[in-house]
Amino acid sequence: MSDFVPFALPEIGEEEIAEVVDSLRSGWITTGPKTRRFEDQFREFLGHSDLHTVAVNSATAGLHLALEALGIGPGDEVITTTHTFTATAEVVRYLGADPVFVDIDPATYCIDPEAVSSAIGSRTKAIIPVHYAGLPCDMSRLCDIAAASGLHIVEDAAHAFPAAWDGRLIGTLGTSATVFSFYATKTIATGEGGMLITRDEGLASRARVMRLHGIDRDAFDRYSSRRANWYYEVVAPGFKYNMTDLAASLGIHQLRRARSFLERRTQLAARYDAALGDLPVELPPRPCAGSGHAWHLYVIRLTDRAPVGRDDLVRRMFDCGIGCSVHYIPLHQQPYWRDRYHLSADQFPCSQKLYERGVSLPLYTKMDDAAQDRVISALRSILC
């Protein structure tokens, strides 16, 4: 249908297109000068010169590199939430370690710090909190828990750019690492891509080596020199996780618009708030004082008074020409995780309830008020 309102849509401007064309004409289409430029500008955006920024081809890659650099391996356990995309947990299995799943806090939809505290055991080495929908986790409590037990925190911030906790941008909190996603639906988009952030120089150095086959020098260093510079050494069995200059070309200009993108997302969220407050739904959780929401997702949860169930609502919205989604089918419902770790829904009642009743409404910067009004009108016609 030509007037379909999609669930998400990236906003790509002429500046991004021109930058990609410039990269194509330059000959640098893999990791090169624009990837470094994007890394440098991302560090400048975060406002801390002591941060290391490592561009990668996905947030999954960034999480894997961070855990690998921290020495996570067979016999170790990493605590994370069941209410996330499978990538958060699969990177733990890549390393032969085991994820330990805990429930979410029903007030935030983020990982429950008290459940984290209760799950810590002798094999626990790290925590991966997920900043769900763009709302930061309770990082003060989680950092206290981690410090008391000598644990690493690797933040899954795929939804959380540029969110803030207690007045500080996510990525600057002093955790072992933070990983952002620039997938096509995210708050800034490079198609595929991500950024690993850390203050640990050793971790950053290891991640840079491991993102490109364990080679001690990247292609830009080897091929941009005017001297014979072909020699390199493989110092570890690495991966193929490097960001390309084509993706970085998009990122450079997406980053420049990040604040205006956030402003528009915040406006759209406020319009939803004003229009949906009298419906039989729970509106999305709000950040606490001093913190900021990235508004990657706008997730409503049906109440007992709703005249339709979640599946029927999504279907009827689609029939109205509107794309909705569900975030997420929790990992305790997924066959691999359920069967390997003997998980069941009654272990995670808060996540299960959000799954059964949660709907993500369209939210993207190219959405104009008229398109959002269509979403609101359709939702009201179904739920009133």
If asked whether residues 82 and 212 sit together in one domain, one would say yes
Helix axes 258-276, 369-383, angle to 10 degrees: 30
If asked whether residues 251 and 262 sit together in one domain, one would say no
Q: Are 85 and 333 spatial neighbours (Cβ–Cβ below 8 Å)? A: no
If asked whether residues 304 and 237 sit together in one domain, one would say no
| Domain stops at, among 236, 256, 276 | 256
If asked whether residues 280 and 296 sit together in one domain, one would say yes
pLDDT tens for the chain, residues 1 to 384: 469 999 999 999 999 999 999 999 999 999 999 999 999 999 999 999 999 999 999 999 999 999 999 999 999 999 999 999 999 999 999 999 999 999 999 999 999 999 999 999 999 999 999 999 999 999 999 999 999 999 999 999 999 999 999 999 999 999 999 999 999 999 999 999 999 999 999 999 999 999 999 998 766 565 555 566 778 899 999 999 999 999 999 999 999 999 999 999 999 999 999 999 999 999 999 999 999 999 999 999 999 999 999 999 999 999 999 999 999 999 999 999 999 999 999 999 999 999 999 999 999 999 999 999 999 999 999 999
Phi, psi of 286 (to 5 degrees): -105, 155
If asked whether residues 148 and 277 sit together in one domain, one would say no
**Across-strand partners of 124?**
77
Residue 230 is predicted with a pLDDT of: 78
Residue 216 is predicted with a pLDDT of: 85
CA distance 180 to 60: 9
SS3 301: strand
Q: How far is CA 195 from each of CA 77, 96, 184, 328, 339, rounded to the nearest angstrom?
A: 24, 24, 14, 23, 32
Residue 2 is predicted with a pLDDT of: 63
User: Which DSSP letter does residue 184 get?
Assistant: T
The residue range of the domain holding 233 is 14-256
| Domain stops at, among 222, 256, 290 | 256
Residue 222 is predicted with a pLDDT of: 54
Structure-token pair, residue 309: 């169930």
Structure-token pair, residue 149: 């037990």
CA distance 249 to 266: 26
The DSSP code sequence of 326-346 is -S---GGGSHHHHHHHT--GG
**Cβ within 8 Å of residue 55, ≥6 positions away:** 31, 35, 38, 39, 42, 193, 194, 195, 242, 243, 248, 251
Q: Are 72 and 97 spatial neighbours (Cβ–Cβ below 8 Å)? A: yes
Does 92 map to a domain? yes
Residue 217 is predicted with a pLDDT of: 76
Using the structure block, give the residue that is written with the tokens 């899954």.
156
If asked whether residues 247 and 223 sit together in one domain, one would say yes
CA distance 190 to 188: 7
Residue 234 is predicted with a pLDDT of: 94
Q: Are 188 and 262 spatial neighbours (Cβ–Cβ below 8 Å)? A: no
If asked whether residues 226 and 94 sit together in one domain, one would say yes
Active-site residue (options: 186, 240, 353, 366): 186
Q: How far is CA 366 from each of CA 13, 256, 263, rounded to the nearest angstrom?
A: 11, 16, 12
CATH number, residue 375: 3.90.1150.10
Q: Are 232 and 214 spatial neighbours (Cβ–Cβ below 8 Å)? A: no
CA distance 128 to 277: 33
Residue 284 is predicted with a pLDDT of: 98
Q: What is the pLDDT of residues 170-213, one digit of tens each?
A: 999 999 999 999 999 999 999 999 999 999 999 999 999 999 99
If asked whether residues 135 and 272 sit together in one domain, one would say no
Helix axes 245-256, 258-276, angle to 10 degrees: 60
186 is catalytic: yes
| Domain stops at, among 231, 256, 281 | 256
User: Which DSSP letter does residue 240 get?
Assistant: B
